[in-house]
């Protein structure tokens, strides 16, 4: 019923949105005297803000049609190389031949689309051959498709790494840090030659017992049955996935906003002021952020519930108790994949220490293949987007990847010996 109520509310508010648009048309029309008055600008700004906040946003475009390499523009072609029911593997093919490291960017299945990592991908494109997990909205996945849980997530990562082949590098942002580490552990136990050369884990809940946040506390205070009763619902018609049990994106978005309600209210007030003052540049920045932030997708119920139970309640991965399908996940088997852990000092979703735990549960990995970076003065989203990501974090990640790239690393070591 929860999803049906949401859809009914969305339909009920539609006449108000149309009315707001009509008022805005009058307040901005060149023939209207109102458009030349302060009141007109305020009405126009208020109605535009209302329309934007109440709009349902679809999946954003990546919009990455070029990058800059050696000071020259290089065209980018977005191609889907693997199609799956729940996820496509997207390749950002650069129109240039370079021997750059292959990088698999694993986006989270946490309510937002993979395009939330647009800034991450854009920064890595000049120096890497980038592939991204582009997750599909479950409301559009038909009931005839197989179910999707945490083991399936791990299987997807392993399959993608097999497709990309040896000497691939992994960058997992937030929640996929757990399935990424699990996949590498399983592949290492197999002696799989396609186990990645390096793995960068950013703001992920490897061990949520370390410095728990409000998100971790919520998961601990309620049983898995409580989550199933209160946040799991069924997709209504006319969506292709009707009848499928999901954790709806609108619930996740509500949770995200409620965690930082004061900041969002202030931000929207600033957007209103920019619109009234005609400060288009600043207003466009705010609009772009919220067009991405308010675009959400539904998650498979079985994946969400299993993640809550295994990651946030049982802490199965750091305890060595996690199972991926029939494979025990033993992180001590990781011996050849270098690991970089990146955390934000102000992260209120994955607290400081939760990602770094990956270095503690891989005792057989040499210290020379472990690295930790704590970024000062950034929160969760600042770890992988924004100015500090580009200026301070990305150079660390890029340097780590090149240091542990088997081909480039061998060349660098050879040149070092010759120079010596």
Q: What is the tally of structural domains in the chain?
A: 2
The whole-number pLDDT of residue 259 equals 74
User: In this structure, what DSSP letter does residue 296 have?
Assistant: B
For residue 255, being part of any structural domain is answered with no
Tokens encoding 67 = 């990058």
* Same domain? 361 vs 407: yes
* Same domain? 217 vs 352: yes
Hey, CA dihedral for 354, 360, 365, 369, is it positive or negative?
Answer: positive
* Same domain? 95 vs 217: yes
How is the chain split among helix, strand and coil, in percent rounded to 5? 50, 15, 30
* Same domain? 131 vs 166: yes
* Same domain? 43 vs 88: no
* Same domain? 37 vs 110: no
* Same domain? 22 vs 90: no
For residue 271, being part of any structural domain is answered with no
Residue 83 CB contacts under 8 Å (≥ 6 apart), including other chains: none
Which residue, chain included where needed, has tokens 């996820």? 87
pLDDT of the chain, 420 residues: tens digit per residue: 788 888 888 888 888 888 888 888 888 888 888 878 888 888 888 888 888 888 888 889 999 999 999 999 999 999 999 999 999 999 999 998 899 999 999 999 988 999 999 999 999 999 999 999 999 999 999 988 888 999 999 999 999 999 999 999 999 999 999 999 999 999 999 999 999 999 999 999 999 999 999 889 989 999 999 999 999 999 998 899 999 999 998 888 888 788 778 888 898 888 888 888 888 888 888 888 888 888 999 999 999 999 999 999 999 999 999 999 888 999 999 999 999 999 999 999 999 999 999 999 999 999 999 999 999 999 998 999 999 999 999 999 999 999 999 877 555 444 433 444
The whole-number pLDDT of residue 288 equals 84
CA distance 412 to 165: 22
The whole-number pLDDT of residue 362 equals 98
* Same domain? 33 vs 86: no
Which residue, chain included where needed, has tokens 């978005």? 253
Contact 162, 191 (CB under 8 A): no
Residue 350 CB contacts under 8 Å (≥ 6 apart), including other chains: 174, 203, 204, 205, 208, 213, 343, 380
* Same domain? 94 vs 34: no
Which residue, chain included where needed, has tokens 């693997």? 82
Q: To which H or E segment does residue 268 belong?
A: helix 261-277
For residue 101, being part of any structural domain is answered with yes
Q: Comparing C-alpha atoms, which of 379, 394, 377, 362 is closest to residue 189?
A: 362
For residue 174, being part of any structural domain is answered with yes
Where b means 16+ CB within 10 Å and e means fewer, 323-357 reads ebeebebbbebbebbbbbbbbbeebebbbbbbbbb
* Same domain? 2 vs 131: no
What angle is formed at CA 382 by the lines to CA 378 and CA 384, rounded to 5 degrees? 135
For residue 317, being part of any structural domain is answered with yes
Backbone φ/ψ region at 191: left (φ over 0), alpha (ψ -120 to 50), beta? left
The three state secondary structure string of 281-293 is HHHHHHHHHHHHH
CA distance 372 to 388: 16
* Same domain? 49 vs 83: no
* Same domain? 22 vs 97: no
For residue 70, being part of any structural domain is answered with no
Query: pTM of the full predicted structure?
Result: 0.90
Cis, peptide link before residue 238, omega less than 30° from 0 = yes
The whole-number pLDDT of residue 149 equals 95
Distances (CA, A) of 50 to 13, 160, 243: 11, 42, 32
For residue 190, being part of any structural domain is answered with yes
For residue 258, being part of any structural domain is answered with no
Give the CATH number for residue 336: 3.40.50.1820
Domain of 20 in residue numbering reads as 1-55
């Amino acid at each position: 019923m929860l999803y049906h109520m949401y859809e009914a509310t969305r339909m009920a508010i539609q006449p108000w949105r149309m009315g707001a648009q009509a008022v805005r048309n009058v307040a901005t029309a060149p023939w209207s005297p109102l458009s030349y008055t302060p009141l007109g600008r305020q009405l126009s700004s208020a109605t535009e803000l209302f329309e934007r906040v109440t709009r349902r946003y679809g999946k954003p475009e990546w919009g990455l049609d070029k990058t800059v390499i050696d000071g020259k523009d290089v065209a980018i072609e977005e191609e889907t190389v693997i199609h799956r029911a729940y996820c496509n593997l997207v390749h950002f093919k650069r129109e240039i031949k370079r021997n750059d490291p292959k990088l698999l960017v694993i986006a989270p299945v946490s309510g937002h689309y993979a395009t939330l990592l647009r800034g991450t991908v854009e920064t890595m494109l000049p120096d890497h051959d980038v592939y991204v997990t582009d997750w599909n909205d479950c409301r559009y996945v038909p009931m005839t498709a197989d179910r999707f849980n945490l083991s399936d997530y791990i299987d997807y990562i392993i399959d993608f790494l097999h497709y990309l082949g040896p000497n691939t590098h992994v960058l997992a942002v937030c929640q996929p840090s757990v399935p990424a580490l699990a996949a590498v552990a399983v592949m290492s136990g197999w002696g799989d030659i396609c186990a990645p050369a390096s793995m960068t884990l950013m703001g992920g809940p490897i061990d949520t017992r370390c410095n728990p946040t409000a998100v971790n506390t919520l998961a601990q205070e309620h049983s898995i049955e409580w989550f199933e009763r209160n946040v799991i619902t069924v997709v209504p018609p006319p969506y292709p996935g009707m009848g499928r049990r999901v954790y709806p994106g609108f619930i996740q978005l509500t949770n995200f906003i409620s965690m930082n309600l004061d900041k969002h209210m202030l931000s929207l007030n600033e957007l209103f002021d920019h619109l009234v003052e005609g400060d288009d540049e600043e207003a466009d920045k705010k609009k772009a952020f919220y067009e991405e932030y308010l675009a959400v997708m539904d998650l498979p119920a079985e994946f969400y519930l299993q993640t809550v139970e295994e990651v946030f309640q049982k802490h199965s991965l750091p305890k060595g108790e996690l199972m991926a399908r029939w494979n025990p996940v033993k992180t001590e088997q990781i011996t050849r994949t270098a690991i970089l852990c990146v955390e934000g000092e102000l992260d209120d979703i994955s607290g400081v220490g939760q990602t770094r735990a990956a270095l503690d549960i891989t005792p057989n990995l040499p210290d020379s293949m472990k690295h930790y970076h704590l970024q000062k003065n950034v929160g969760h989203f600042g770890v992988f987007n924004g100015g500090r990501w580009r200026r301070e974090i990305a150079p660390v990640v890029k340097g780590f990847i090149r240091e542990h790239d088997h081909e480039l690393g061998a060349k660098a070591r050879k040149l070092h010996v010759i120079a010596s």
